[in-house]
Structure 1
Amino acid sequence: MISVVLDVVGGLLLVVGLGLMTIALVGVLRMPGTYSKLHAQSLATGPGVCCVLASSVATENAATISYAAVGIVFTVLTAPVASHAIARAARRRGAPAEPR
């Protein structure tokens, strides 16, 4: 019984994570400027990756759980730093800020 619940939870987390990453992809393709694209990508991709990794935590064995937990921590710590570094590099290269 518990394995069925974990499989359903894992499947839902996988669908949510892939949905968030799809939203990020659409945002990157549709947004007009560099900073808008970066904003769309950074807001949806971090939670999307965490949901996909959490789905593997719900459905796999102990070794996979430890790797997924390390991946979640790594994503949470590095995604904002990477987005900031990309925005800073874009600003230094002279990427224009879009008008509101």
Structure 2
Amino acid sequence: MIDLILNYIAGILILVGALFTLTASIGLLRLPDLYTRMHAASKAGTLGSCVVLLALALQSNDAAIALRALAGILFFLLTVPISSHLLAKAAHGAGYNLWEHSKRDDLTIAEEKARRAKPAAGTKTPDN
């Protein structure tokens, strides 16, 4: 009886994971710029992969396989957000523009504030 319930739960989780992965794929095709596409791929793709791995962990009769699936979930949750953030920052530094209807560019605003706060070379500051 418990096996039947676990089979149904695993099947539902696989369908949910597939839907999140499909959403990420549609986002890659439909969204207008690099940053929004990267956001869709990293968030929905990570969630879809984690849900499918959770289904694998529930369905597995071997504890080693379940533990590897849980380690895979942890790996996805730790690495994908960090790597997508670093890729987006590198793309911004390389000059990839935001979509023209984006509301604001927080990184450019922060860089301009830091540039204004930093004294120009050769100028006297109260500390000198």
4+ runs of 1 displaced by more than 6 Å? none
- 1:1-100 pair list within 5 angstroms: 1-60=1-60, 61-100=62-101
**Which protein has greater RCO, CA pairs closer than 8 Å, 6+ apart?**
1
Identity over aligned residues, as a percent?
36
Greater per-residue helix proportion: 1
- Superposed CA RMSD in Å reads 0.8
Larger Rg: 2
Please list the CA deviations of residues 62-89 of structure 1 after superposition, one character each: whole Å capped at 9, or x if unmatched. Answer: 1110100100111111111011011012
Shift of the alpha carbon at 1:53?
0.2
Shift of the alpha carbon at 1:37?
0.6
Shift of the alpha carbon at 1:91?
0.7
The separation in 2 between residues aligned to 1:51 and 1:86, in whole angstroms, is 24
The separation in 1 between residues aligned to 2:70 and 2:40, in whole angstroms, is 25
- List gaps (5 residues or longer) in structure 2: 102-128
The separation in 1 between residues aligned to 2:11 and 2:83, in whole angstroms, is 29
Shift of the alpha carbon at 1:14?
0.6
The separation in 2 between residues aligned to 1:32 and 1:97, in whole angstroms, is 9
Give the secondary structure class of the aligned counterpart of 1:96. Answer: coil
Please list the CA deviations of residues 25-63 of structure 1 after superposition, one character each: whole Å capped at 9, or x if unmatched. Answer: 010011111111111112201111110000001100211
* AA in 1 matched with 2:54: A
* AA in 2 matched with 1:29: L
